[in-house]
Amino acid sequence: MRDLNFLNIETFNKYQRFLYGHDDLFKNLTSLFEKKKLPNKIIFNGSDGIGKATFVYHLTNFILSNREDDAYNLNTKEIIENSKSYLDLINNINFNFKHLKVDDFKKIISIEETREIINFFHKSSINDKPKIFFLEGAENLNKNSSNSILKILEELPENNYFFISYLENKFLLETIKSRCFNCRLFINSKESGLIKEKLMMQYKINNTIIKNLTPGLNLKMNILFKELNIYEKNFSEKVLTMQNFYLEEKYNKILDLMHIYIENYFTDNLKNNNFFRNLRVRNKINNIIYNIHSINNEIKSSFYEINLLLGIK
């Protein structure tokens, strides 16, 4: 496995050989495939970091390795490390699978990229195996792209699967949803804690389990803290270090995690004193961060405003 760091963690779903949680849903979908009844258009929705992409990669590995011996262990939901199907997927040489993820810098899927999907489904399958396209981040489809996706869904060839994921509570065209089998990924708080512990152990990160975060976001936050060497820093130092890192890298996920970290800080403090003052400050910070995303405000001045509201010097 490649070295794990914050800037490449978004690509690690395809390397994750263990699927934690979602037992019943995975069992049901793999059983439907074995009975040749698996819907060929499936939408997976859920919170950020709940495991949507990892789930899709495991289902894909199961489907594409179906005729291989010892390629996927259904009992443990584990991909066998040296199986041909897994090695082909992680090396991007399986021509029966394609993954399109929204670029964090663009925040949109272009009409040109939807044409790639059409071309993929028009090509012949290799070794008569199913073909699978995974569209990750469908909440970022614009009007033209959404119409292209609708056309693809209506004309999907036989023995082809179109898997789509999007963040719950985000917009996705109802006509797209209505043409697909919809699966919501969810884990309760107890299961979330157990999965966080497994991920921390797997990636040898024995530090913070942050409440209110999904397992994936908790892992990303810990990877970020580790990379920036700020585990032992106080709240103010953590926020300033994340801001400086964002100014260097201009990677939106850093800003998102800083926002989540501040939100968790306020969640704790809102339970205590100064409820209404903290609520007003929280709302102002939310608006500032939203404007950074939406109208490309001058970032340093936005951070200065946030720090004033937080009392950070």
User: According to the model, what pLDDT value does residue 68 have?
Assistant: 66
| pLDDT higher than threshold 90 for residue 55 | yes
Residue ranges of alpha helices (H) inside the chain are: 23-34, 52-64, 84-90, 111-122, 143-154, 174-178, 189-202, 215-228, 235-249, 252-270, 275-295, 299-310
User: According to the model, what pLDDT value does residue 272 have?
Assistant: 60
User: According to the model, what pLDDT value does residue 69 have?
Assistant: 65
> Reduced to 3 states, what is the DSSP secondary structure of residue 158?
coil
User: According to the model, what pLDDT value does residue 53 have?
Assistant: 95
User: According to the model, what pLDDT value does residue 62 have?
Assistant: 94
Q: pLDDT band for position 128 (50/70/90)?
A: confident
| pLDDT higher than threshold 90 for residue 188 | yes
User: According to the model, what pLDDT value does residue 130 have?
Assistant: 92
- Alpha-carbon gap, residue 248 to 6, rounded angstroms: 14
- Alpha-carbon gap, residue 231 to 233, rounded angstroms: 6
- Alpha-carbon gap, residue 161 to 112, rounded angstroms: 20
CATH code of the domain made up of 6-184: 3.40.50.300
The candidate with the shortest Cα–Cα distance to 5, out of 186, 224, 180, is: 224
| pLDDT higher than threshold 60 for residue 229 | yes
pTM of the model: 0.89
Mean pLDDT for the stretch of residues 71-85? 90
What φ, ψ does residue 135 adopt, rounded to 5°?
A: -100, 110
Between 101 and 60, the more confident residue is 60
H/E stretch holding 165: strand 160-167
- Say what percent of the chain tops pLDDT 90: 49
Between 194 and 210, the more confident residue is 194
Q: Judge residue 305's burial from the number of C-beta atoms within 10 Å of its C-beta, 0-12 exposed, 13-18 middle, 19 or more buried.
A: middle
Between 300 and 5, the more confident residue is 300
User: According to the model, what pLDDT value does residue 271 have?
Assistant: 61
- Alpha-carbon gap, residue 304 to 309, rounded angstroms: 9
The one-character DSSP state at 18 is B
What φ, ψ does residue 160 adopt, rounded to 5°?
A: -125, 140
Domain locations along the chain: 6-184, 233-310
- Alpha-carbon gap, residue 205 to 302, rounded angstroms: 32
Mean pLDDT for the stretch of residues 290-307? 81
Mean pLDDT for the stretch of residues 36-42? 96
- Alpha-carbon gap, residue 177 to 260, rounded angstroms: 28
| pLDDT higher than threshold 80 for residue 165 | yes
Share the mean pLDDT of the chain.
Answer: 87
